[in-house]
Amino acid sequence: MATDPWLPVAHRVRRRRVETKDSATLVLAPVADRLPVFRPGQFAMLYAHGIGEVPISISDIPAGGVLVHTIRAVGAVSRALHSAEPGAVLGVRGPFGTAWDVDRAEGGDLLLVAGGIGLAPLRPALRHALEHRSSYRRVTLVVGARTPSDLLYDDELRHWDSLADVDVVVTVDHAADGWTGRVGVVTEPLASIPLDATRTTAMLCGPEPMMRYCARTLLGRGVPDEGVQVSLERNMQCGTGVCGHCQLGPLLLCRDGPVVDLPVATPLMLVKEL
């Protein structure tokens, strides 16, 4: 087991699945040493040799030290990672950061709200809930995307939607030909889905404004703010709370986040350029 958080551990790309025009999911297997087991919501620093390192949330946690990450190509490093083919070797450090508190939701309703690539960090939480289905009452997944072709995990979305004990709501900002699902932003279904507000734990992941608006909608429906968790992003670099690049007010998000309770996150999200 690799224990030095500063030392990238070699992982080989076992599979690559194209999700959307700019996103792909990599299945990484350890070449030798394994990293400690990740929890839903945590992230790894993925290193593309000779290019650089970026934080990427874990998007599935299979057994055997295998890691699954969904990567959106937005810059030099993430483009290199996104285009890594099976057989390529990447460096991985982690796990880092806080996790979705799935235990706190036990005995109550679990509501997961994802916007865009935000479904990736929430997928392990949903899978955990499905594996421990009897520990939760209603489980609801609300997913928003720009267009139908921007939806991640389309086959899994259909599978989850087919399950009798999960409510899945998918909505897109812009419809395309043949799209028969919802059109609108994620806040709209949140305003009307069945909700036992005081017994709901909500986990929000997506662009920060989306999470703010979703949180307001949920608070307006009576969900207590301590029942809402959000995943915040800043410029994570060291992953160990040392370098300070990811500071957000009193938090170092690589250590104190990315998952933060709403009462902590709200005042920070309202400060411009923080």
Say how far apart CA 28 and CA 179 lie, in whole Å: 33
Per CB under 8 A, contacts with other proteins among 42-61 are 52, 54
Q: Site for other proteins (CB under 8 A): which residue of 187, 200, 231, 266?
A: 187
78 is an interface residue for other proteins by CB under 8 A: yes
Give whichever of 102 and 238 is closer to other proteins, judged by the CB atom. 238
- Provide the 3-class DSSP secondary structure of residue 252: strand
Q: Site for other proteins (CB under 8 A): which residue of 40, 41, 65, 116?
A: 116
Q: Site for other proteins (CB under 8 A): which residue of 5, 16, 22, 261?
A: 22
Say how far apart CA 120 and CA 111 lie, in whole Å: 15
Give whichever of 145 and 260 is closer to other proteins, judged by the CB atom. 145
**x/- binding map, residues 198-217, to other proteins, per CB under 8 A?**
--------xx-xx--x----
183 is an interface residue for other proteins by CB under 8 A: yes
CB-based contacts of 81: which residues, under 8 Å, 6+ apart? Answer: 26, 46, 48, 54, 56, 69, 71, 73, 90
Query: What's the N-to-C CA distance of the chain in angstroms?
Result: 37
Give whichever of 78 and 140 is closer to other proteins, judged by the CB atom. 78
Give whichever of 91 and 207 is closer to other proteins, judged by the CB atom. 207
**x/- binding map, residues 141-180, to other proteins, per CB under 8 A?**
---xxx---x------------------x-x-x-x---xx
75 is an interface residue for other proteins by CB under 8 A: yes
| DSSP state, residue 191 | T
Concatenated DSSP letters of 76-115: HHHHHHHTPPTT-EEEEEEEES----TTTTTTSEEEEEEE
Question: What is the helix, strand, coil percentage profile of the chain, to 5?
Answer: 25, 30, 40
Give whichever of 31 and 191 is closer to other proteins, judged by the CB atom. 191
Which range in 37-45, 68-76, 96-104, 250-258 contacts other proteins by CB under 8 A? 68-76
Give whichever of 144 and 239 is closer to other proteins, judged by the CB atom. 144
Say how far apart CA 191 and CA 182 lie, in whole Å: 14
Least Cα distance to 152 among 63, 73, 91, 70 occurs for 70
